[in-house]
Every structure is written in structure tokens, then in C-alpha cells.
Amino acid sequence: MFGVDILAAEFEFARGYRRYRSNRADVLLIRLEDLNRVAQRALSDFLGLEHVQVKRENDASVKVYSDIYRIFREILSLPADYLDSVYSSAYSRHFYSEEELGRFRSRWR
């Protein structure tokens, strides 16, 4: 729709974000797990502003269900065939290193 192919350009895993440009749009892609680490810098670069402030909202750790959510995440174990399907996709392999994918697999098994 916007003429941006996010798989066409290499993604720098350590950076955690990338700007994509086309004739129709500029797109900022931030990996969700890197949001806290890179959002301020990524948005500053993208918007061309020096002082962008990012406020954390909707934090599950402070919700009334936080203990249930934490326990659920601790005990959740996903089937290997499901993890293989997710982590072998073109998107997973493009945006995550083999080391990162290995850690994700270990986390959810």
C-alpha cells in the first residue's frame, strides 16, 4: 500500500529499529521488545526532533491482574512444532538473529 518492502533491506538486530522510505511514505519499525530501549532515539531520528519523550502506559506489572499474568508467563510452554512454525517464518528470520531466535525458543518451551 505504501510502497515499502520491509524485507528488502537488512535489519540491524542490535539497533532494534529501522526507518524505511518510499515515494508514498516513511515508516518507522521498532521491534516491540526493544521499545523501552530505543523508542526515544528512534522517534527523535524519525521525526527530526531533539527531545522526544516516551511515556510508558498500560504496564501489566501494575495492573490488578499482574500476579496472574506473571504466573501465566512463567508456566506457559508452547509446542515445538508451533515454535518452529513461528520462528522459521521469513519475518522472524529477517528481524531476529539466530541467537535471539534460540533464546525465544528456549523461553517458551
Q: pLDDT by residue (tens digit) across 16-37?
A: 999 999 999 999 999 999 999 9
Reported as a single tens digit per residue, the pLDDT across 52-96 is 999 888 888 899 999 999 999 999 999 999 999 999 999 999 999
**pTM score > 0.75 for this model?**
yes
Question: Whose CA is closest to 60, among 73, 51, 69?
Answer: 69
Query: If you ran DSSP here, which 8-state letter would residue 51 be given?
Result: -
Cβ contacts of 45 within 8 Å, gap of 6 or more: 19
Give the start-to-end residue ranges of the domains of the chain.
1-57, 58-109
Buried b (16+ CB within 10 A) or exposed e, 35-51: eeebbeebbeeeeeeee
